Copies of this chain bind each other. A is one copy, B any other.
Amino acid sequence: MQEPTLLLLTALADEPRHGYAIAREVEAISTGRVKMRTGTLYGALERLLQQGLIEVHKEEVVDSRLRRTYTLTSPGRAALAAEAERIAATAREATRRLKVSGKAATA
């Protein structure tokens, strides 16, 4: 799972959001670092729907245009939790190793 997808799921973790709101939220979470392109966004949304990690929460017409709101499913929440734990473990290990070798040789 790549960073944009992970951030997308994270953006949906606290409350349901529609596409454009997700894009803004992802930028906020990553402190401006990751700007989600619409190509990535709607592609990922479609993929995650098919994988069952997210689902359509609500469909409403706003300003005569359709707005779809998405939520995490239970498997989606589980997948995000698992992924978060995995990458946290990897980050810890990386940091630990950098410290260890930093003591021996600051090359």
Contacts and interface: CB of A to CB of B under 8 A. Distances in A.
A93 B85 CA distance: 11
Contacts of A6: 90, 94
Contacts of A30: 90
Interface residues of A, number: 34
Interface in A11-56: 13-15, 29-30, 33
Contacts of A10: 90, 93-94, 97
B81 A95 contact: yes
Interface of A: 2-3, 6-7, 9-10, 13-15, 29-30, 33, 71, 74, 77, 80-81, 83-88, 90-95, 97-98, 100-101, 107
